[in-house]
Amino acid sequence: MSLSVRGLAARQLADYRARTPGTFFGEEDHPRLTLDDAYAVQAEVATLRVADGEPVAGYKVGATGPGTREQFGMDGPVRGFVYGTELYPSGATLSHASYANLAIEGELAVRLGDAAEIVRVFPVIELHNYVFRSETPALQELIANNGLHAGVVLPDGDGTEWRGEEPLAGTLRVEINGRTVAEGAMSGVPGGPAGSVEWLRRNLEAHGLALRPRQLVLTGTPLGLYPVQPGDAVRVTAERLGAVEATVAP
Protein backbone atom coordinates (compact mmCIF):
# COMPACT_ATOMS: atom_id res chain seq x y z
CA MET A 1 0.00 0.00 0.00
CA SER A 2 1.67 3.25 -1.10
CA LEU A 3 1.21 6.64 0.54
CA SER A 4 -0.65 9.42 -1.27
CA VAL A 5 -0.48 12.60 0.80
CA ARG A 6 -3.43 14.10 -1.06
CA GLY A 7 -5.54 10.95 -0.71
CA LEU A 8 -4.71 10.51 2.95
CA ALA A 9 -5.47 14.17 3.66
CA ALA A 10 -8.90 13.84 2.04
CA ARG A 11 -9.55 10.76 4.17
CA GLN A 12 -8.30 12.50 7.32
CA LEU A 13 -10.63 15.43 6.74
CA ALA A 14 -13.62 13.19 6.03
CA ASP A 15 -12.92 11.23 9.22
CA TYR A 16 -12.54 14.44 11.23
CA ARG A 17 -15.87 15.74 9.99
CA ALA A 18 -17.52 12.39 10.73
CA ARG A 19 -16.16 12.53 14.31
CA THR A 20 -14.13 9.37 13.73
CA PRO A 21 -10.65 10.91 13.48
CA GLY A 22 -7.61 9.07 12.20
CA THR A 23 -9.08 5.70 11.18
CA PHE A 24 -6.02 5.24 8.93
CA PHE A 25 -3.88 4.67 12.02
CA GLY A 26 -6.05 1.80 13.21
CA GLU A 27 -5.32 -0.27 10.12
CA GLU A 28 -2.73 -2.97 10.61
CA ASP A 29 -1.17 -2.54 7.17
CA HIS A 30 -1.18 1.26 6.92
CA PRO A 31 2.01 2.84 5.47
CA ARG A 32 4.41 4.12 8.12
CA LEU A 33 4.67 7.89 7.91
CA THR A 34 7.81 9.91 8.57
CA LEU A 35 7.47 13.13 10.53
CA ASP A 36 7.73 15.06 7.25
CA ASP A 37 4.97 12.87 5.77
CA ALA A 38 2.76 13.62 8.77
CA TYR A 39 3.31 17.37 8.48
CA ALA A 40 2.65 17.17 4.72
CA VAL A 41 -0.71 15.47 5.40
CA GLN A 42 -1.54 18.09 8.03
CA ALA A 43 -0.72 20.90 5.57
CA GLU A 44 -2.79 19.31 2.79
CA VAL A 45 -5.76 19.05 5.15
CA ALA A 46 -5.31 22.77 5.83
CA THR A 47 -5.36 23.49 2.10
CA LEU A 48 -8.62 21.57 1.77
CA ARG A 49 -10.20 23.30 4.76
CA VAL A 50 -9.22 26.77 3.58
CA ALA A 51 -10.70 25.99 0.15
CA ASP A 52 -13.92 25.03 1.95
CA GLY A 53 -14.06 28.42 3.71
CA GLU A 54 -12.28 27.57 6.97
CA PRO A 55 -9.51 30.18 7.38
CA VAL A 56 -6.34 29.48 9.33
CA ALA A 57 -6.51 31.59 12.51
CA GLY A 58 -3.10 30.54 13.80
CA TYR A 59 -1.28 27.54 15.21
CA LYS A 60 -0.97 25.36 18.29
CA VAL A 61 2.13 23.92 19.94
CA GLY A 62 1.67 20.65 21.80
CA ALA A 63 3.35 17.76 23.61
CA THR A 64 5.73 20.18 25.32
CA GLY A 65 4.93 20.26 29.03
CA PRO A 66 5.62 17.43 31.48
CA GLY A 67 1.93 16.59 31.90
CA THR A 68 1.09 15.82 28.28
CA ARG A 69 4.49 14.27 27.52
CA GLU A 70 3.95 11.75 30.31
CA GLN A 71 0.30 11.22 29.36
CA PHE A 72 1.00 10.60 25.66
CA GLY A 73 4.25 8.73 26.25
CA MET A 74 6.05 10.82 23.66
CA ASP A 75 8.13 13.97 23.50
CA GLY A 76 7.33 16.92 21.25
CA PRO A 77 7.06 19.65 20.47
CA VAL A 78 4.59 19.27 17.64
CA ARG A 79 2.39 21.88 16.01
CA GLY A 80 -0.99 22.07 14.36
CA PHE A 81 -3.33 24.50 12.64
CA VAL A 82 -6.04 26.52 14.42
CA TYR A 83 -9.09 27.34 12.31
CA GLY A 84 -11.31 30.40 12.45
CA THR A 85 -14.46 28.27 12.34
CA GLU A 86 -13.50 26.62 15.64
CA LEU A 87 -13.04 29.67 17.87
CA TYR A 88 -15.61 30.01 20.65
CA PRO A 89 -16.26 32.80 23.19
CA SER A 90 -15.92 32.35 26.93
CA GLY A 91 -19.14 30.98 28.33
CA ALA A 92 -19.83 28.87 25.23
CA THR A 93 -21.86 25.70 25.48
CA LEU A 94 -20.11 22.85 23.66
CA SER A 95 -21.91 19.78 22.37
CA HIS A 96 -20.15 16.64 23.61
CA ALA A 97 -21.63 14.71 20.69
CA SER A 98 -19.80 16.97 18.23
CA TYR A 99 -16.42 15.56 19.30
CA ALA A 100 -14.69 12.21 19.64
CA ASN A 101 -13.90 11.67 23.34
CA LEU A 102 -13.86 15.41 24.09
CA ALA A 103 -11.00 16.47 26.34
CA ILE A 104 -9.67 19.89 27.32
CA GLU A 105 -6.39 21.58 28.12
CA GLY A 106 -5.89 24.81 30.01
CA GLU A 107 -3.03 26.82 28.60
CA LEU A 108 -1.76 30.25 27.63
CA ALA A 109 -2.16 31.67 24.14
CA VAL A 110 -0.64 34.74 22.56
CA ARG A 111 -1.88 37.19 19.96
CA LEU A 112 0.58 38.40 17.36
CA GLY A 113 0.92 42.00 16.24
CA ASP A 114 1.34 43.68 12.86
CA ALA A 115 4.87 42.30 12.47
CA ALA A 116 3.87 38.82 13.72
CA GLU A 117 5.49 39.61 17.08
CA ILE A 118 3.99 38.65 20.46
CA VAL A 119 1.81 41.49 21.77
CA ARG A 120 -0.73 39.97 24.17
CA VAL A 121 -1.20 36.87 26.35
CA PHE A 122 -4.29 35.21 27.85
CA PRO A 123 -5.64 31.84 29.07
CA VAL A 124 -7.64 29.55 26.76
CA ILE A 125 -9.43 26.22 26.85
CA GLU A 126 -8.17 24.02 24.03
CA LEU A 127 -10.57 21.33 22.79
CA HIS A 128 -9.37 17.90 21.64
CA ASN A 129 -10.59 14.72 20.03
CA TYR A 130 -8.71 12.51 22.47
CA VAL A 131 -8.30 9.48 20.20
CA PHE A 132 -5.22 7.40 19.37
CA ARG A 133 -5.75 4.37 17.15
CA SER A 134 -2.23 2.95 16.77
CA GLU A 135 -1.28 0.11 19.09
CA THR A 136 1.73 2.22 20.05
CA PRO A 137 0.88 5.88 19.40
CA ALA A 138 3.68 7.98 17.94
CA LEU A 139 4.33 11.57 16.97
CA GLN A 140 3.36 10.81 13.36
CA GLU A 141 -0.22 10.01 14.39
CA LEU A 142 -0.36 13.03 16.69
CA ILE A 143 0.89 15.35 13.93
CA ALA A 144 -1.26 13.94 11.12
CA ASN A 145 -4.27 14.36 13.43
CA ASN A 146 -3.37 18.05 13.88
CA GLY A 147 -2.20 17.55 17.44
CA LEU A 148 -5.71 16.25 18.34
CA HIS A 149 -6.88 19.87 18.07
CA ALA A 150 -10.64 20.43 17.72
CA GLY A 151 -11.10 24.09 18.69
CA VAL A 152 -10.42 26.71 21.34
CA VAL A 153 -12.47 28.77 23.77
CA LEU A 154 -11.19 32.35 24.05
CA PRO A 155 -11.60 34.74 26.99
CA ASP A 156 -13.50 38.00 26.83
CA GLY A 157 -11.39 40.99 25.82
CA ASP A 158 -7.98 41.26 24.18
CA GLY A 159 -5.83 39.79 26.96
CA THR A 160 -2.88 41.35 28.75
CA GLU A 161 -0.13 43.24 26.98
CA TRP A 162 3.04 41.13 26.90
CA ARG A 163 5.97 41.10 24.52
CA GLY A 164 7.47 37.77 25.54
CA GLU A 165 10.56 39.40 27.05
CA GLU A 166 9.84 38.88 30.75
CA PRO A 167 8.95 35.57 32.44
CA LEU A 168 5.31 35.02 33.36
CA ALA A 169 5.08 34.39 37.08
CA GLY A 170 1.96 32.85 38.54
CA THR A 171 -0.26 29.79 38.47
CA LEU A 172 -2.34 28.23 35.72
CA ARG A 173 -5.36 26.35 37.07
CA VAL A 174 -7.93 24.01 35.51
CA GLU A 175 -11.24 23.51 37.34
CA ILE A 176 -14.04 21.12 36.38
CA ASN A 177 -17.34 21.55 38.21
CA GLY A 178 -15.67 23.88 40.70
CA ARG A 179 -12.96 21.38 41.64
CA THR A 180 -9.32 22.03 40.83
CA VAL A 181 -8.05 19.12 38.73
CA ALA A 182 -4.60 20.57 38.00
CA GLU A 183 -2.48 23.63 38.58
CA GLY A 184 1.10 24.59 37.85
CA ALA A 185 3.44 27.36 36.83
CA MET A 186 2.32 29.36 33.79
CA SER A 187 5.89 29.25 32.51
CA GLY A 188 6.07 25.45 32.86
CA VAL A 189 6.53 24.60 29.17
CA PRO A 190 10.18 24.59 27.95
CA GLY A 191 11.27 28.18 27.40
CA GLY A 192 7.88 29.42 28.59
CA PRO A 193 5.21 30.60 26.13
CA ALA A 194 7.76 32.74 24.26
CA GLY A 195 9.97 29.68 23.81
CA SER A 196 7.05 27.82 22.25
CA VAL A 197 6.50 30.65 19.78
CA GLU A 198 10.18 30.70 18.79
CA TRP A 199 10.19 26.92 18.26
CA LEU A 200 7.04 27.31 16.15
CA ARG A 201 8.66 29.98 13.96
CA ARG A 202 11.57 27.66 13.22
CA ASN A 203 9.36 24.65 12.57
CA LEU A 204 7.09 26.55 10.20
CA GLU A 205 10.06 27.97 8.31
CA ALA A 206 11.46 24.46 7.86
CA HIS A 207 8.16 23.48 6.21
CA GLY A 208 7.79 26.56 4.01
CA LEU A 209 5.29 28.31 6.28
CA ALA A 210 5.39 31.39 8.52
CA LEU A 211 3.50 33.15 11.29
CA ARG A 212 1.31 35.97 10.02
CA PRO A 213 0.22 39.27 11.59
CA ARG A 214 -2.54 39.06 14.19
CA GLN A 215 -2.59 35.27 14.31
CA LEU A 216 -3.34 33.29 17.45
CA VAL A 217 -0.77 30.88 18.91
CA LEU A 218 -1.62 28.28 21.57
CA THR A 219 1.66 27.77 23.39
CA GLY A 220 1.11 24.38 25.05
CA THR A 221 0.30 23.40 28.60
CA PRO A 222 2.43 22.45 31.60
CA LEU A 223 -0.55 20.45 32.84
CA GLY A 224 -2.44 17.54 31.27
CA LEU A 225 -5.33 16.67 28.98
CA TYR A 226 -8.63 16.06 30.79
CA PRO A 227 -11.65 14.23 29.35
CA VAL A 228 -14.98 15.96 30.02
CA GLN A 229 -18.58 14.76 30.01
CA PRO A 230 -22.01 16.31 29.38
CA GLY A 231 -22.93 18.54 32.29
CA ASP A 232 -19.34 19.51 33.09
CA ALA A 233 -18.44 23.16 33.66
CA VAL A 234 -14.82 24.01 32.84
CA ARG A 235 -12.87 27.05 34.02
CA VAL A 236 -9.23 27.90 33.29
CA THR A 237 -7.59 30.69 35.29
CA ALA A 238 -4.20 32.28 34.71
CA GLU A 239 -3.10 34.28 37.73
CA ARG A 240 -3.37 38.04 37.01
CA LEU A 241 -4.17 37.30 33.35
CA GLY A 242 -7.83 36.36 33.57
CA ALA A 243 -10.08 33.35 33.14
CA VAL A 244 -12.12 31.54 30.50
CA GLU A 245 -15.11 29.22 30.90
CA ALA A 246 -17.20 26.72 28.96
CA THR A 247 -20.01 24.26 29.62
CA VAL A 248 -20.38 20.82 28.05
CA ALA A 249 -23.84 19.79 26.87
CA PRO A 250 -24.94 16.40 25.46
Whether 92 maps to a domain, the answer reads yes
Average pLDDT, stretch 209-223? 97
Whether 37 maps to a domain, the answer reads no
Structural domain span for residue 146: 54-249
Whether 179 maps to a domain, the answer reads yes
Angle, helix 35-51 to helix 5-17, in steps of 10 degrees: 60
Q: 55-71 pLDDT, tens per residue?
A: 999 999 998 856 555 56
**What pLDDT shows up at residue 31?**
84
What CATH number does the domain containing 125 carry?
3.90.850.10
Model confidence at 1, in pLDDT bands (50, 70, 90)? very low
Whether 148 maps to a domain, the answer reads yes
Does the pLDDT at position 43 exceed 70?
yes
Whether 14 maps to a domain, the answer reads no
Backbone φ and ψ for 145, nearest 5 degrees, come out as -90, 25
Q: 15-42 pLDDT, tens per residue?
A: 999 999 999 999 988 888 999 999 999 9
Whether 133 maps to a domain, the answer reads yes
CA diameter of the chain: 53
Our count of domains for the chain comes to 1
Whether 20 maps to a domain, the answer reads no
**What pLDDT shows up at residue 238?**
98
Whether 74 maps to a domain, the answer reads yes
Average pLDDT, stretch 230-237? 98
Average pLDDT, stretch 184-205? 94
